[in-house]
A and B are shown apart, each in its own frame.
Chain A
Amino acid sequence: MEGLIMLLTVFVLAIYVGFEVITKVPPTLHTPLMSGSNAISGISIVGALLAAGMIGGTYPDLAKVLGMVALIFATINVVGGFLVTGRMLKMFQKR
């Protein structure tokens, strides 16, 4: 239970930090902010790595396969997200 409360505390504080940090975003940056934050949500790659890493253990094949597919999706999200955001921002800057 204590562990859960700690995690909840972190979650709520992080939401507040999010609201404070992203206060006023100019419309030009709405799309990059969205695709950039989307890349961050690809952090589930950590969970996917842990799940796919069970491959070496005695876990059921299903868990390994699920972890593997999750890893591919999360990696697409991370790599694609950061690259496309960078591409857009470069476009805004090239003048």
Chain B
Amino acid sequence: MDQSIVNLAYLAAAILFILDLKWMAHPRTAVRGNRAGAIGMLIAVIATLLSPEWQKYGGDGIGWSYVAIGLAVGAAIGAFAALRVKMTAMPELVGLFNGFGGAASVLVAAAAIVEAVSTDFATIESPGQMKVATVLSALIGSVTLFGSYVAVGKLAEFLAVKWKLYTWQKAIKYGFNAILIASAGYYAFANDFGPWTLLSVACAVTMAVVLVQKKDSFPGGNALKLIAFVGSLVMAVLVVMNAGDSSVIGPENQDMFWALVAVAGLLGVCLTFTIGGADMPVVIALLNSYSGLAAAATGFVINNNVLIISGALVGASGIILTKIMCKAMNRSLANVMFATMGPTADTPDADEVYKSVKSTSADEVAMMLETAERVCIVPGYGMAVAQAQHAVHDLAGLLAEKFGAEVEYAVHPVAGRMPGHMNVLLAEANVPYEELKEMDDANSTMNTVDVCIVVGANDVVNPVARTDPTSPIAGMPIIDVDKARTVIVIKRSLSPGFAGIPNPLFSMDNTLMFFADAKKAFVEIIAAVKEG
């Protein structure tokens, strides 16, 4: 196929991606959007396989068979993961896919630099651009890959947790570290311990040390973050300016390239390791954006428009989501990335705040629900952990059917561990889209709600955000559940949320605490309502 026809096919693919994102913004057109994107991708792949560039070397039998194997293996793994994953594990899966996108970008850039070194640069039209793009691709890609690994590790709770791990968690955690150190060691041996290879090994070992920590923070963490950041920039400049001439690509570039990947990986680990809990949605959205930018950088490496356009689109969508998430917490991105959240000197003592907490039982809750005309349910991460979404939906259905109550759900934008986490879980439990209320809508009618049930949420319903300007969550938009006539909080204990501050909502006159696992609590309440 002529190269100009291939380029036209790439243009068609790019347009389909734009339509994908456009249609994805509305519930009615989203399915069509996803299909458009998939078709676009298919067109891009077929056009690449028919392009003269690919046909020149890959057109023979060997090329086809290798590519067929690669595509088949990838498709099988991808399809298996996508069709088998539980909705509660969706944040981990999205994080994992982000990481794979980053990995692919690093590897394509690596292949390009290996190729450039081997062909004596004769085929490279503009080595300067290629070097800069390779560096960016490696830098962003590596930060995305290792940052995503940490994010997934924290979501699946095998990184930075104090408690004992299951065998599979241990296998991943220590297996990853072993692979990291083994590959760095092998690489060092193969390269006779050159200075750049030693730097790669040092980074791999440091990463392994950070990754076995059992807490979010460790001594020297911020210093390490800074060193990794500056180190990445220095390495990036060094690779480009090797031999003082940006138009030369030598074998040394290859070693320096891997050192850059290693330092950037350390940066990715450090940046993500200190972030947790309620900040997770921001990180996932940000890594999403990075994976796009890495793909765009790869586009500059191989001079390909469709990579640049798609990468830029994904980068933009990730940035938009990141901004929405930050706004929903009233924090800046810099604050999320570098500040540690926690109680301050002004934070009131928990025992003092919780002096007048009243606890309740399933029977009492059932009695209150009997007379309630409007019920509002506020889900949080605790509902996801307990996998209580089905029980929650069952109760809502029962209340509507038995007492004709009007039930709605109020969802905070950062509830859960990724953007839209609660919506996905409730949709899995068949909760109709119309019953899901956004924060502002829910707040405007909160004073007409008879019973508000908070299930596994804490900081996003803490009235301190409105009242105390010195609190760490001051000014964060919250769901005003305290304005409902009665509030029932289902929570396992009085332990603080991610912000580490007590929640005066729990001891208000109109609040009753139901101390239980979310799923168990709902099952008990359903039984009590059925009996009553």
Residues of A within 8 A of B (CB): 1, 3-4, 7, 10-12, 14-19, 21-57, 59-60, 62-64, 66-95
Contact = CB atoms under 8 A, between A and B. Distances in A.
A23 B41 contact: no
A44 B307 contact: yes
B120 interface: no
Contacts of A16: 316
A74 B423 CA distance: 28
A40 B41 contact: yes
18 contacts: A4-B300, A18-B21, A22-B317, A30-B420, A37-B24, A37-B317, A38-B94, A41-B101, A41-B291, A47-B105, A48-B70, A53-B58, A59-B119, A73-B100, A74-B74, A84-B81, A84-B97, A88-B427
Contacts, number: 396
A68 B322 CA distance: 32
Given A53-B58, A55-B63, 4 more contacts: A31-B419, A78-B78, A88-B424, A91-B424
A17 to B, nearest CB: 6
A37 B300 CA distance: 20
B27 A40 contact: no
B57 A53 contact: yes
A32 B30 contact: yes
A72 B20 CA distance: 24
Contacts of B71: 71, 75
B61 to A, nearest CB: 9
Interface of B: 14, 17-18, 20-22, 24-27, 30-31, 33-35, 37-38, 40-41, 44-45, 48-49, 53-54, 56-60, 62-63, 66-67, 70-71, 73-75, 77-79, 81-83, 85, 87, 90, 93-94, 97-98, 100-101, 103-105, 107-108, 110-112, 114-115, 118-119, 125-126, 129, 284-285, 288, 291-292, 294-296, 298-321, 324, 411, 413, 418-421, 423-424, 427-428, 430, 432-433, 436, 438
Given A14-B308, A59-B115, A74-B100, A19 B320 contact: yes
Nearest to B83: A83
A44 B102 CA distance: 9
A75 B108 contact: no
A16 to B, nearest CB: 8
A10 B11 CA distance: 12
A67 B31 CA distance: 32
> Which applies to chain A's interface (DSSP): helix, strand, loop or mixed?
helix
Contact of A3 (B83, B111, B125): B125
A1 to B, nearest CB: 7
Contact of A18 (B85, B317, B423, B424): B317
A53 B326 CA distance: 42
A18 B82 CA distance: 26
Contacts of A53: 53-54, 57-58, 63, 67
A80 B394 CA distance: 31
Contacts of A72: 70, 73-74, 77
Contacts of B284: 34
A24 B25 CA distance: 7
A86 B36 CA distance: 11
A34 B423 contact: no
Q: Interface centre among B87, B303, B427, by most A CB within 10 Å?
A: B427
Nearest to B300: A7
A7 B305 contact: yes
A39 B21 CA distance: 11
A79 B427 CA distance: 23
Contacts of B421: 31
Contact of A62 (B79, B114, B321): B114
